[in-house]
Structures are given as structure tokens and as C-alpha cells.
Amino acid sequence: MPGDPLFNNGLNLAVALIVIIKAIIVFVVVLVSVLFMVMFERKVIGHMQNRIGPNRAGPFGSLQSLADGTKLFFKEALLPAKADKRIYRLAPILAVVPAFLVFSIVPIGGTITIAHHVTRLQLVDPPWGILFMLMLSSIAVYGVMLAGWSSGSKYPLLGAVRASAQMISYEAAMGLSIAAVVVLSGSLHTSAIASGQHGLLHFRNHTVPLPAWNLFRTWVVPFIIFMIAVTAEMHRPPFDLVEAEEEIAGGFNAEYSSLGFALFYLAEFMNVVTMSGVTVTLFLGGPDGPRILGHSVGPFWFVLKLFAFLYTYVWLRATLPRFRYDQLMDLGWKRLIPASLGMLLFVAAVRTGSRGWVIGVMVGLVVGAIALMRALSVGARTTEVEAASIARAGRRA
């Protein structure tokens, strides 16, 4: 049954205590994983670029992020003269708080029993689970936008307008690829989405030797779209036009110093961790994995998959060059959104179970794609003809 069984019987002190303990654990896990992620990223990138990376603070440089944070604590905070003061102070909070909250819906295991109370290994399991994550990623746009706008300076403003267009463009594709997952799970509960991926994959009454993860059940394409959209949403490379150092000097956070800057940094790395967790939940079965020595070790498998994604994001940063802005917009609007719409219909047709509809939708998609190309190529030809006639007119004149 979806929902947290903790709340089924009345609300008493023990239940409240368990909720508080879980909240503290989530806070600690998120903060520690961010400190770890910063160090991990710098270390891995260092090795990928044939350097050593940080190795002075603590054993193997493991305390480097703690040292950086402490340093930023003692730095002078400058409030630019032209800044809109209230919004300038509000923006870092708007960036960090959503990043914190996303992790509260990520299931990292099944259920456990504390003092005769059965509870899930996640802070909350609301009926609006995955919508909550979409909502928070929309709020995160405000953090970046308001930071850039309120600084009263040109580089941050450029970063902010880039951020607003980029993040909302990819949010549409992200929402549609999540819808493909929701079609299969039939529920918005994150726990139901995770638990619906147990066992082996079935395809037309055959068992395929693959896990029944949504990655395979949605025919892989929504996963790829989701990964790209999430990377753009977090403005990580290769989609880091929002804070492109070489072009706009750090972008939206250029006027921030001291803790304000630290909070944006924190939010960025927190997003990497939490969005990796969401990706694992949606597409890779969450805590699903084989039992070890007869025990089900959900959290272990969850963390293992999480690491794979954290490494992937660092890897992307080390290998891919930044997109040009028009390429970014083309990818988002002309490739990802049509593809995710088509995949959503296809997955839904497969889910309704009748073969006629699957064939119908596939034929419809192919015809639609051909019609689309035809419609666009007609447009392109007209402009070519026009350009040629303009050129001829120019020569005659």
C-alpha cells in the first residue's frame, strides 16, 4: 500500500519523534553527501585531467570542502550598491531550500520497524510525490533568476535571462519524460514508482533476463531525455551557459560573496546528489537489487546506483564542451520535446495493452514525423528561393 504506514494509526509522541529523527537523518545525509560530492568532483576531474587534485586538507584531501566552507564563512560579504537588497538576500535561500526538500521524497529502501512503528526509509511518501519534485525544480529557477536580476549588474543579468530560458525549456521535456514513467507505475507515490520495478522484465509473456526497471520498460528513450533535461536543469556542463566563466564571469552569482556565494555552490552540488537520487528512483528501480546473503540490502544498491550517476555527471563535465545557445535551444525544443511527446504516446499505447493501438500509434508517429519534416523542409526551401531571388534582385540593381 502506498503512503507511509507510520501515519496509519493515530499521531502520538513516538510517531513525532520518528519523523524528527528521519528529518535529521535526511539533513545530515544531504549535507555530508554535498561535502563529499565537492571533494569527489575535484578529485575525479583532477585525475581525468592528469592532475592530482586537492590533497592537502585532511587525508587524501578529504576535508577540502570543509576548509573551503570555513574560509567562505570568514569572508567579507559585499552588498553591491545597485542591488535590490531584499531580493538579493532572498535569492540564495530560494536556491538552497528546494534543493534540500527534493531528497525528502526519495525512497532509499523498503520499510523498517522502529519501536513497533513501521515506516518507510524516506522522509515523506505523499500522494503527490513526483509532482513535488517538479514543483521544487520550478522554484529553483527563481533562485537563479532573482539572484541575477537583483544584483544590478550586467553579467549576472545575462546569466539570469539565460537561466530562465534554459531551465524552463528543459523543464517541459523533463515533465513529459516523467509522465512516461507515471504511465507505467500508475501512481505519483515515489515509493510505488520504486517498488513497481521489482523482478525481471516481461515482454509478450516471455521473461527477459533484464531487471524490470523503468529504464527498459519505457524503451530507454525517456531515460535519455530525462538525463539530458536534468543536466540542463542543474546547469551542469555541457549546459552551464548560465554561469559560463569565460563569457559572463560566473553569471548569476558574480556579485555574491561570502556565504551567499557558498549557498549557491551548496545548492548546485546538492542538486546533483538529489537529482541523481530521483533519476535512480524513476528509472533504475531505486533500492531494487539482488539480495546479499539472504538479506535485502536496498540502501546499498541505492547508494551504488547513486554513485554511478554522480560519477557520470563529473565525467560529462570533464569531457564535453559547452553548448552554443542556439544549439541548446534547438536540442530542447526541436528534439527533446517532440521526442518525449512521441515516446509518451507510445508507452501509453503499449500500456493500454491492445496491439491495434500500438501499431496505430507507431504508424501515427512515423506519419507525423514525416509530415513534420516535409512541413519544415517546405519552409526552408521557400526561404532559400526567397534568398536567391533577393540576391538576383541585388545583382540587377
Partner 1 sequence: MSSFLRSYLTVAIFAGAAVVLVVLMLGLGSLLRPTRPQAQKYIAYESGVDPVGEGWSQSQIRYYVFALLFVMFDVETVFILPWAVRVKVLGSYGLIEATAFIVILALGLLYAWRKGVLRWV
Q: 122 to 161, contacts with partner 1 by CB under 8 A?
A: 123-127, 131-132, 134, 149, 151-155, 157-158, 161
Residues 225-284 within binding reach of partner 1 (CB under 8 A): 249, 254-255, 258-260, 263
Taking the complex as a whole, the smallest distance from the CB of residue 367 to partner 1 amounts, in Å, to 11
Tell me phi and psi for residue 256, to 5 degrees. Answer: -95, 145
Site string for partner 1, 329-358 (x = CB under 8 A): xx--xx--xx--x--xx--xx-xxxx--x-
Taking the complex as a whole, the smallest distance from the CB of residue 250 to partner 1 amounts, in Å, to 9
Q: Which is nearer to partner 1, 32 or 372 (CB)?
A: 372
Among 175, 198, 238, 247, binds partner 1 (CB under 8 A): 175
Contact flag: residue 102 with partner 1 (CB under 8 A): no
Taking the complex as a whole, the smallest distance from the CB of residue 23 to partner 1 amounts, in Å, to 5
Instruction: Report which DSSP code applies to 292.
Output: B
Taking the complex as a whole, the smallest distance from the CB of residue 315 to partner 1 amounts, in Å, to 28
The alpha-carbon radius of gyration of the chain (Å, integer) is 24
Alpha-carbon gap, residue 271 to 98, rounded angstroms: 9
Taking the complex as a whole, the smallest distance from the CB of residue 304 to partner 1 amounts, in Å, to 26
Alpha-carbon gap, residue 122 to 108, rounded angstroms: 6
Alpha-carbon gap, residue 238 to 218, rounded angstroms: 25
Size of the site for partner 1 (CB under 8 A): 92
Among 25, 376, 388, 391, binds partner 1 (CB under 8 A): 376
Alpha-carbon gap, residue 164 to 173, rounded angstroms: 15
Looking at 4-12, 52-60, 210-218, 293-301, which segment touches partner 1 (CB under 8 A)?
4-12
| 3 state SS of 202 | strand
Contact flag: residue 199 with partner 1 (CB under 8 A): no
Residues 9-28 within binding reach of partner 1 (CB under 8 A): 11, 19, 23, 26-27
Q: How far is CA 350 from CA 180, 281, 308, 363, 384, in A?
A: 11, 22, 30, 14, 41
**Direct distance between the N- and C-terminal alpha carbons of the chain, in angstroms, rounded to an integer:** 78
Alpha-carbon gap, residue 269 to 131, rounded angstroms: 22
C-alpha cell at 316: 560529462
